[in-house]
A and B are shown apart, each in its own frame.
Chain A
Amino acid sequence: GNWGRLAAQQSLTQDQLLQFDTFGNVSLIHVTDIHAQMKPIYFREPEMNIGVGPNKGDVPHVTGADFRKLYGIDDGSPSHYALTYNDFSALAREYGKVGGLDRVATVINAIRAERPDALLLDGGDTWHGSYTCYHTQGQDMVNVMNALKPDAMTFHWEFTLGSDRVREIVEGLPFAAMGQNIFDAEWNEPSEDFKDYQFFERGGVKIAVIGQAFPYMPIANPGWMFPEYSFGIRDERMQEMVDEVRGQGAELVVVLSHNGFDVDKKMAGRVTGIDVILSGHTHDALPEPVLVGETIIVASGSNGKFVSRVDLDVRDGRMMGFRHKLIPIFSDVIEPDAEVAAVIDEQRAPYLDQLTEVIGKTDSLLYRRGNFNGSWDDLICDALLSEREADIAMSPGVRWGPSILPGQDITREDIWNVTTMTYGKAYRSEMTGEFLKVILEDVGDNLFNPDPYYQQGGDMVRIGGMGYSIDISKPQGERISDLTLLKTGEAIDPAKTYVVAGWASVNEGTEGPQIWDVVENHIRKQGTVTVAPNTSVKVTGV
């Protein structure tokens, strides 16, 4: 109740959250995967985040109590709430919402007060993920981020605005838009629309920041929306870029990456000469950098929930030491920056009535993150099954989307926060049982292939109306078994055809109503939604 909340907030102060003994001569500020969340939200971290191959059991594949033990985090503490999933609803009531770009601004300003020339680097997935972002084609986020004055950014979901829109925005950006792995698809040459790297002179140190956009853009997202570009990891070219900037006198080499954490780890082991990788895409939040050789990898969470500060001591052309803090943005503790708050309000004002309309209420905690299930996804699948009259529903395993506490109203904004995209049409089609298995095997391998370079950094496709077993230790083609149609309890027949509803198809010309309308109609009919725990996926081989 309120007493707990007050006590929790009294014990936590802005000064504490910002406390940092300034170190060395360079400061980096990293934000990433904001997914257009300008306002405070709730965000539950995953319960299940399985590591495979060389990353089995390593961070970020540690969750819950194991995570708290690893980092010495007390149960019930602010870090427990910010970084792990247990007791989420209760702790959320005590500690309140997280994020809000006006609070992020306060943190950035405080760091800049101590280190005026700190570099602010945005890892991408910035111009995607909300009602206003969709309706302004990313302009709301561009305006708010410009107010934070970043020095560089890289990209992923931005490209789903379509390449014309991306170029239009990038041309007007007052900072560097980067990706050494963004290529002109036609001639297989580095794209002239994006920079490979940018030099900065800070604290007497010559710093090179190299951009690395999401490598699997045309695979994970609709390639037809940006056909001029090709991506890929291109770690050999990354080595060339590192050597090139070192040759030009770079004393500190930072990679602003949207590879995903395990891909960054592998890349750090193959490319020499990178001092710092600021890692994005897989939405992991780590209280300490991970060291690979002489490279530190920093993971800064998602949805505006965290800001990383990395202070570095760079002398004689070498990184001699670092000090790091993952700063959780407790919205009720950190004072909003008035200037940025005004910019945010200005973006939302034309849409406020639409945003705040209450569609229904939830009795259950609605969250998404986790390798297999999220209650938000279960609700979306329920909506697809009933509104689209399907046997089976599929919802993509994306990692963005805030949580809603039991007892909270669900507004239109809340629904858009977990569904919005430029290819959100809810298709209804027929698939054979065999093809359903092929899909599960395909997505399973994108997640559980032991080689990180084969991983795309999402979670498993969410399934409604069908159960299955997965042995993650097996190779592709052998992981999935026991497909069962839940409404009859019968085994899925490979030769039989089933009606499947889903959304986020990467195929051009997909037809159907927008997923947010499907979900809104469903919730409206329910009034108050309740989502039963999902027990239809059996996971083995962990």
Chain B
Amino acid sequence: MADNVKPRVKAPKSASAGEVVTIKTLISHTMESGQRKDSDGNTIPRSIINRFTCEFNGTMALDMTMEPAISTNPYVEFDVTIPESGDLQFTWYDDDGSIYEDTKSVEVG
């Protein structure tokens, strides 16, 4: 697992039933493109987050594939419909097989 990979999410804590909410996510990650060379001229191997998903109570909202052209510390902003109280589940998939997760609960009152 890469070092210091830390997901951060901005999501509302509450919503009304059926409300569309805006989600912002960031994950600290170098997103090594595989196109850079080190000081000895050797190619630095590619190591990126290649997929990001957001589900709500197990139902998909966004499934994003990422290429090396996504910037360091990938940022994604998108909208999710909140049908009921439950959990937003965020998952980032690393080239090295690591999976990083975060969860945010949303209360429908």
Contact = CB atoms under 8 A, between A and B. Distances in A.
Interface of A: 186-188
B91 to A, nearest CB: 21
B77 interface: yes
B10 interface: yes
A136 B32 CA distance: 41
B24 interface: yes
Contacts of B61: none
B27 to A, nearest CB: 12
B75 interface: yes
Given A188-B24, A188-B75, 6 more contacts: A186-B26, A186-B75, A187-B10, A187-B24, A187-B26, A188-B77
7 contacts: A186-B26, A186-B75, A187-B10, A187-B24, A188-B24, A188-B75, A188-B77
Interface in B59-109: 75, 77
Contacts of A187: 10, 24, 26
B83 to A, nearest CB: 26
B21 to A, nearest CB: 15
Nearest to B24: A187
The binding surface of chain A is classed by DSSP as loop
A19 to B, nearest CB: 55
Contacts of B10: 187
A232 to B, nearest CB: 16
A187 B24 CA distance: 7
A411 to B, nearest CB: 46
| Closest 3 pairs (CB-CB, A-B) | A187-B24, A187-B10, A186-B26
Contacts of A186: 26, 75
A187 B22 CA distance: 12
Interface in B18-58: 24, 26
A187 B11 CA distance: 12
A186 to B, nearest CB: 7
A377 to B, nearest CB: 36
B66 to A, nearest CB: 18
B22 to A, nearest CB: 11
Contacts of B24: 187-188
Nearest to A185: B75
A186 B26 CA distance: 8
A186 B71 CA distance: 12
A477 to B, nearest CB: 23
Nearest to A186: B26
Nearest to B73: A186
Interface string B2-20: 0000000010000000000
A345 B26 CA distance: 50
B29 to A, nearest CB: 14
A188 B26 CA distance: 11
Contacts of B26: 186-187
A20 B26 CA distance: 56
A383 B54 CA distance: 59
A189 to B, nearest CB: 8
A187 B26 CA distance: 8
A188 B75 CA distance: 10
A234 to B, nearest CB: 16
A188 B77 CA distance: 10
A278 B109 CA distance: 47
A427 to B, nearest CB: 21
B47 to A, nearest CB: 22
A188 B73 CA distance: 14
Contacts of A188: 24, 75, 77
B107 to A, nearest CB: 23
A186 B75 CA distance: 8
B49 to A, nearest CB: 17
A186 B27 CA distance: 11
A187 B77 CA distance: 9
Nearest to A187: B24
Nearest to B26: A186
